[in-house]
Structure 1
Amino acid sequence: MECRTMKVFDILKETLTIFYKNINFVFFTILTSLPLFCFLIYYETFLQKFLFQCIENLPLLERTSYIPLYYDPYYGQYYDPWSLPVDIVRNLNKYHFNELIQMGFLYLVPLHLLELFSLLVTVDLSSKIYREDKALTFMDMLHLRIDKARTGATVITFLYVVFLSTCTLLAFIWLLITYSAVLMIPTPESEIVLYNSVGMSSLGFDLFDHLLYGSNLFLQVIIYLPWCAIWNLGLVISILEGTCGLKALGSAVYLSLKSLVNGVSLVIIFTIWELGLRALCLYFGSYKTWLGIVGQISLLCLGNALKWVSFVVYFQDCVRRVSRKKTDQEQNVDMRESKAMFV
Structure 2
Amino acid sequence: MKMDKKLSVVELLEQAVKLLLSNINLALIIFLCSLPLFCFLIFFELSLQTTLSFTYQFLSKQVNLEKDSSENDLFLQTTNYLTYQSLYQQRNIWEDSSENDLIPWLIKTSLLYFFPYTFLDLLTTTTIVAASSIVYTSKEEPLRLLDLVHRSIKTFQKRLGGCLITYLYVLLLSTSVFLFFLPFFLLFFFGVFSHWAEKLNFVRRQTSLDLVIPFLIYAMVVLVQATLFMYLTAKFIKWSAGWNMSLVVSVLEEDGEDGEEGIYGTDALSLSAWYRKGHEKRDVWMMLLFLVFAVVTRMPCLYSKCSLNTSGKGVLYTGVYVGLICVGNVVKWLACVVSYHDCKTRPLRKKADVEQAKPPAT
Instruction: Give the structure-2-normalised TM-score.
Output: 0.76
**What does 1:288-299 correspond to in 2, within 5 Å?**
288=309, 289=313, 290-299=315-324
> CA offsets, 1:218-255, max 9 Å, x none?
11012112211111111100110121111111111111
Paired letter, 2:179? L
CA distance in 1, matches of 2:242, 2:6: 19
**What does 1:180-191 correspond to in 2, within 5 Å?**
180-183=189-192, 184-185=194-195, 189=203
Q: Report if the CA contact (8 A) 1:263-1:314 is conserved.
A: no
CA distance in 1, matches of 2:299, 2:227: 23
**Corresponding position of 2:207:** none
1:115 aligns with 2:146: no
Label 1:249 to 1:330 Cα distance change in 2 as closer, same or farther (>3 A).
farther
Deviation (angstroms), 1:95: 4.4
**Corresponding position of 1:316:** 341
Deviation (angstroms), 1:92: 6.3
Q: 2:176 aligns with which of 143, 163, 167?
A: 167
Q: Which has the higher strand share?
A: 1
Q: Report if the CA contact (8 A) 1:41-1:297 is conserved.
A: yes
CA distance in 2, matches of 1:91, 1:178: 23
**What does 1:53-72 correspond to in 2, within 5 Å?**
53-64=54-65
CA distance in 2, matches of 1:92, 1:50: 11
Deviation (angstroms), 1:108: 1.6
Paired letter, 1:238? S
Deviation (angstroms), 1:175: 0.9
> CA offsets, 1:279-337, max 9 Å, x none?
122224444423212211111111111110110001111112222334455667x65x9
**Corresponding position of 2:147:** 140
**Corresponding position of 1:27:** 28
Q: Which has the higher helix share?
A: 2
Q: Report if the CA contact (8 A) 1:61-1:92 is conserved.
A: no
Q: Report if the CA contact (8 A) 1:93-1:100 is conserved.
A: no
**What does 1:271-282 correspond to in 2, within 5 Å?**
271-282=291-302
Structure 2: gaps of 5 or more residues: 78-94, 205-213, 254-261
Q: Report if the CA contact (8 A) 1:15-1:313 is conserved.
A: yes
> CA offsets, 1:170-222, max 9 Å, x none?
222211222334343365649xxxxxxxxxxx995412321222121111012
Paired letter, 2:136? Y
**Corresponding position of 1:155:** 164
Label 1:91 to 1:314 Cα distance change in 2 as closer, same or farther (>3 A).
farther
Q: Report if the CA contact (8 A) 1:61-1:91 is conserved.
A: no
Structure 1: gaps of 5 or more residues: 77-88, 191-201
> CA offsets, 1:116-147, max 9 Å, x none?
00001000000010011444322223322235
Query: Aligned-residue CA RMSD in angstroms?
Result: 3.2
Paired letter, 1:226? K
**Corresponding position of 2:53:** 52
> CA offsets, 1:65-117, max 9 Å, x none?
57999xx99xx9xxxxxxxxxxxx99965541111111111112111110000
Deviation (angstroms), 1:59: 2.3
Identity %: 28
Label 1:93 to 1:329 Cα distance change in 2 as closer, same or farther (>3 A).
farther
**What does 1:1-343 correspond to in 2, within 5 Å?**
5-64=6-65, 93=99, 95-133=101-139, 134-143=141-150, 144-146=153-155, 148-183=157-192, 184-185=194-195, 189=203, 205-241=217-253, 242-287=262-307, 288=309, 289=313, 290-328=315-353
If asked which structure has higher relative contact order (CA below 8 Å, sep 6+), I would say 2
Aligned residues: 311
**Corresponding position of 2:259:** none
Greater alpha carbon shift after TM alignment, 205-214 vs 225-234: 205-214
Deviation (angstroms), 1:4: 5.7
CA distance in 2, matches of 1:311, 1:252: 11
Q: Report if the CA contact (8 A) 2:15-2:338 is conserved.
A: yes
Q: Report if the CA contact (8 A) 1:225-1:268 is conserved.
A: yes
Q: Report if the CA contact (8 A) 1:14-1:313 is conserved.
A: yes
CA distance in 1, matches of 2:235, 2:127: 30
Q: Report if the CA contact (8 A) 2:58-2:99 is conserved.
A: no
Deviation (angstroms), 1:37: 0.9
CA distance in 2, matches of 1:100, 1:285: 17
